[in-house]
Structure 1
């Protein structure tokens, strides 16, 4: 960075640094994208509408993103990272509990924040489907983190004698895929079952997939 640019970047205006102002603009853009896509769909998202809703200039927008898809990818990643952090927190809170309690609780910790905000649920389960290779890459990267957590929990449960060994990656993929399909179906239904019912069913599914004795050993 040139000296003049470095000086500009380090200036403080209104008591906030350049980095703080940029973080604020990003937060406002993500909040605006969350509301637009979560209520009207990705097709309704334009750079002009996003900037107007966030009260951010187009010049400032393009300093952060190369277009609306990049902004949406950032929002999607942010939602998944937040839910992923809930999973980690849940596993920490249930340390020492059996697998049949830890994993369902972690699964619900991931899903409940999304079910609590139908805009977020629409973004994560509906709007991202088949959208682009960039969005798919974000989805797969975050899915891999969940797989690693489930595999680690399963292998630890085997050592403790709580579960029979199995192909834990297959089990993790089955659980994540099933939960995603159920959540998508729930979002698309005109009359949705109660969230509490959905949570109970998904919890039971997790227990079945991860603790039932497999017919064949790996």
Structure 2
């Protein structure tokens, strides 16, 4: 079909992917610098230099755009944290420091991402539900890493592990939200160090309670 022909060496599917990426980049710029209220269909398309029909080719609502953008940021966070943990020295503080530093840098090296993930993510019931799912997913990541690190795989279903992981991730989201809005008088390095302190304290305490070996690092 003509719609599937290549143009300039780029297929129709590739062009559609490029247009979708341009719309998401536009959403990041608008929400991250001007605020959620400024994100309209016409504004997105003007920012992306695209006809409005290409918006409707990819999205059916503003929430759909924001959900896709949040999913991209979540994937970037997960990749950065996983790679940081993989390369960290084998002790609890170094591992926690590497993971937390990587995650916080993703959100703060480009402050627009923090605004989307932490502020816009609470704007509507649908986005709040997505944020809750994301927190749950990262809590599962924290729990899994802790279980593997402290070698307590037989406790995988212990509800205390899930509780502490959710508490840590949910608390960090709230702290980052307050910090990004200038409500906490901490430098980024101080924020990272305090966060590491809390993660290590609760992690090592729980490992001792449920029988995991003490960290020798």
TM-score (norm 1): 0.85
Corresponding residue for 1:173? 166
**Alpha-carbon distance in 2 for matches of 1:175, 1:78:** 22
> What's the C-alpha RMSD, in Å, of the aligned pairs?
2.4
CA contact 1:154–1:210 (8 Å) conserved in 2: yes
Corresponding residue for 1:137? 129
Once the two structures are TM-superposed, the CA of residue 34 in structure 1 deviates from its matched residue by 0.5
Change in CA separation of 1:197 and 1:158 when aligned onto 2, cut-off 3 Å: closer
**Alpha-carbon distance in 1 for matches of 2:161, 2:103:** 19
Question: How big is each residue's C-alpha offset from its partner over 1:2-48, in whole Å with a ceiling of 9 and x where there is no partner?
Answer: xxxxx244210111001111111111111111011001111111000
Corresponding residue for 1:73? 67
Number of residue pairs the alignment of both structures matches = 207
**Alpha-carbon distance in 1 for matches of 2:132, 2:159:** 23
Change in CA separation of 1:76 and 1:166 when aligned onto 2, cut-off 3 Å: closer
**Alpha-carbon distance in 1 for matches of 2:110, 2:49:** 23
Change in CA separation of 1:9 and 1:172 when aligned onto 2, cut-off 3 Å: farther
**Alpha-carbon distance in 2 for matches of 1:65, 1:166:** 39
Contiguous gaps of at least 5 residues in structure 2 = 212-217
TM-score (norm 2): 0.85
CA contact 1:171–1:209 (8 Å) conserved in 2: yes
Tell me whether 1:21 sits opposite 2:15 in the alignment: yes
Change in CA separation of 1:192 and 1:118 when aligned onto 2, cut-off 3 Å: farther
